[in-house]
Amino acid sequence: MIDDLDARLIGLLNAEPRIGVLECSRRLGVARGTVQARLDRLQERGVIRGFGPEVDPAALGYQVTAFITLEIRQVGGHDPVAARLAAIPEVIEAHTITGGGDMLCRIVGRGNQDLQRVIDLIVDVEGVQRTSTVIALATPVPQRTLPLVRAAARQ
């Protein structure tokens, strides 16, 4: 699926995204064409989705992150709700889930008070029956995939 060189390449790009293909080849001790081919293949296979800018909501003023679980009225289903959620900028992601709730969303707000505004927006969505929110106090493990890439390379 993925080999050691791929993993080292991803790790390198993760550590220093600004460097180019040529610099990668030097650091990894392989030919430039190889790095180029690997990168192309990784993107083609979808392993690397892209190199979009990572935006930090906190730096934009949205300093509170929370997770909100939704219960949704059976009739109508998830789709209309998801569409309405997608229209709320503060909804960073939304999943349908198993278990007690029906959907789980990550949301942000400018503060606890602003978070209430966002929650109200969600509660107002047609089809949402009940919500339950937990606030993220700290993030000891920030989002990451590098360890996973390394693990995948060892297979």
Give the footprint of a copy of itself on residues 44-83 (CB under 8 A).
45-62, 65, 67, 78-79, 82-83
Give the footprint of a copy of itself on residues 21-40 (CB under 8 A).
none
Q: Which stretch binds DNA (CB under 7 A): 8-16, 31-39, 62-70, 115-123?
A: 31-39
Determine the 3-state secondary structure of 21 from DSSP: helix
> Is residue 100 near a copy of itself by the rule CB under 8 A?
yes
Nearest CA among 109, 129, 73 for reference residue 119: 109
Query: Cα angle at 66 between 116 and 102, to 5 degrees?
Result: 95
Cα separation, 88 vs 78, whole angstroms = 16
Identify the helix (H) or strand (E) that includes residue 104.
Answer: strand 103-109
Q: Which stretch binds a copy of itself (CB under 8 A): 12-20, 28-36, 119-127?
A: 12-20
> Is residue 52 near DNA by the rule CB under 7 A?
no
Q: Interface with DNA by CB under 7 A: which residues?
A: 5, 18, 20-23, 29-34, 36-38
